[in-house]
């Protein structure tokens, strides 16, 4: 059997240039998400610009370096780049080129887009992918390529395309499943041995005083045995530090994004997963972005479980654990309690990601709750201070979470539980946790918008 595996490997091993020769005009291509973005193949594909036309690429959370298909084609004459979730780099690239676009999804659904397109091509708008290219760990002795930090929808993508290319990187940690965390040599068409580029690490700056205050209010909602989902941002890291110092115990982890804070909790003995109903004793996740300490911790670690996103993010799966606490951030909330977590006017900042999934799943969990955190203000480039709690959104602003789904909002001035409240009660509570400098103006707007009672009182 080992000889058969190595025979297959030798037959499919090729250069990036040879692999990219399989790409044809009009192809839709999946690039690996996060640290899974191919680099040798990306350069080889860009070098074929003169031979190609109308090639669309789908990625998510584009990390440095800048994709060569964009560097070589800033006017979008050949390549169109679509991103499921904008990163800071995606925003810069969209401002500098004419071929970068946001692709809205519900993260928990994205694997279905492949099968739906094949089974019902007339009624599904998502185009069929022709090729999938992703960085993976080198092949193991059994013929498998582990996806490392980016399980997500990778297996589904690779098994629903004709051209299947893995570009190996020995720096990727091998992350046990779970499910769908690897692919076999027999299922792929090309193996490109990569140059083993370093993995991108996300630095975590020293938390601000505002983030510390928000984290303090978040702590009021966590008790023994809670199952935690941390989103990206400073607040989850502060909460992780506070939990390490607390006397809480038997915390669990079911999260789309595994971050450094979970390592701190595990090593402090706080994160045992002993009270989880599913994946007991495991940190279940679908992708990871953080620092080298996190990546080293994950390598062949039996305490983690890498799952595909359809499992991790489905609200029905999330809710199977009791006492799920979902902690996410937002850009703005209006007085109707609609959440904007992805745009400022017409400018795309990030994306929905799995926020919708975990807001729903956490609330469906027995004893669970969803917390959406945001500082009460932000400063513009000219130094002007603006409120993040606004009367209504500017034109072009995207509603990420509808008001009916919003559970608990947290700012540095406190928290407000909104489920089941009327419009005037929501406005009153939100104004109560807004920055004091903006409360009078928010009250005036609430009156104009007829969502204010005369008897309402704001301290």
Query: What are the b/e assignments for 175-211, b being 16+ CB within 10 Å?
Result: bbbbebbbbebeebbbbbbbeeeebeeeebeebeebb
The kind and range of the H/E element at 334 are strand 332-334
Alpha carbon distances (Å) from 207 to 213, 238, 456: 10, 7, 35
Helix 234-245 vs helix 209-219: crossing angle, to nearest 10: 60
Catalytic option among 68, 111, 181, 256: 256
83 φ/ψ angles, rounded to the nearest 5 degrees: -120, 125
CA distance between the termini of the chain: 74
As a whole number of angstroms, the distance between CA 291 and CA 93 comes to 24
The residue among 85, 92, 86, 27 whose CA lies nearest residue 66 is 92
**Dmax over Cα atoms in the chain, in whole Å?**
81
Q: Determine whether 193 is an active site residue.
A: no
Residue 2 burial (C-beta neighbours within 10 Å; 0-12, 13-18, 19+): exposed
As a whole number of angstroms, the distance between CA 228 and CA 251 comes to 7
In eight-state DSSP terms, residue 278 is S
As a whole number of angstroms, the distance between CA 309 and CA 356 comes to 13
Annotated catalytic sites, by residue?
A: 256
């Amino acid at each position: 059997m080992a000889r058969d595996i190595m025979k297959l490997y030798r037959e499919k091993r090729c250069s990036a240039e040879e692999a990219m020769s399989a790409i044809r005009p009009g192809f839709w291509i999946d690039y690996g998400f996060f640290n899974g973005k191919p680099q040798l193949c990306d350069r080889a594909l860009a070098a074929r610009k003169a031979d190609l036309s109308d090639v669309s690429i789908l990625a998510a959370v584009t990390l440095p370096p800048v994709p060569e298909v964009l560097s070589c084609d800033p006017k979008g004459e050949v390549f169109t780049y679509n991103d499921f979730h904008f990163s800071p780099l995606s925003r810069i690239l969209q401002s500098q080129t004419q071929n970068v676009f946001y692709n809205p999804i519900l993260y928990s659904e994205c694997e279905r887009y492949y099968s739906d397109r094949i089974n019902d091509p007339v009624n599904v708008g998502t185009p069929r992918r022709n090729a999938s290219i992703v960085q993976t760990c080198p092949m193991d002795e059994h013929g498998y390529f582990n996806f490392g930090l980016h399980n997500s929808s990778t297996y589904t993508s690779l098994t629903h395309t004709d051209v299947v290319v893995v570009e190996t990187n020995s720096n990727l940690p091998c992350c046990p499943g779970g499910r769908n965390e690897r692919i076999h040599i027999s299922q792929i068409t090309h193996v490109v041995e990569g140059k083993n580029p370093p993995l991108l690490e996300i630095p975590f700056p020293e938390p601000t005083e505002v983030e510390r205050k928000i984290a303090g209010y978040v702590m009021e909602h966590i008790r023994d045995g809670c199952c935690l989902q941390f989103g990206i941002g400073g607040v989850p890291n502060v909460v992780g530090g506070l939990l390490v110092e607390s006397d809480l115990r038997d915390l669990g982890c079911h999260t789309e994004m595994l971050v450094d804070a979970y390592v701190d909790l595990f090593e402090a003995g706080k994160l045992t997963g002993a009270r989880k109903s599913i994946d007991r004793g495991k940190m279940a996740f679908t992708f990871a972005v953080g620092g080298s300490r996190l990546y080293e911790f994950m390598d062949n670690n039996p305490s983690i479980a890498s799952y595909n996103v359809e499992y991790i993010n489905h609200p029905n799966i999330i809710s199977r654990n009791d006492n799920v606490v979902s902690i996410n951030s937002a850009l703005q909330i209006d007085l109707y309690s609609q959440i904007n977590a992805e745009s400022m006017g017409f400018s795309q900042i990030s994306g929905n990601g799995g926020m919708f999934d975990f807001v729903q799943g956490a609330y469906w969990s027995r004893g669970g709750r969803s917390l959406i955190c945001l500082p009460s203000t932000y400063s513009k480039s000219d130094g002007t201070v603006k409120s993040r709690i606004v009367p209504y959104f500017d034109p072009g602003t995207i509603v990420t979470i509808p008001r009916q789904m919003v559970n608990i909002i947290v700012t540095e001035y406190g928290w407000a539980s909104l489920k089941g409240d009327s419009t005037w009660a929501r406005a009153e509570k939100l104004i109560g946790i807004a920055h004091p400098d903006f409360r009078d103006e928010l009250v005036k707007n609430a009156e104009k918008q007829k969502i204010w009672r005369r008897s309402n009182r704001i301290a």
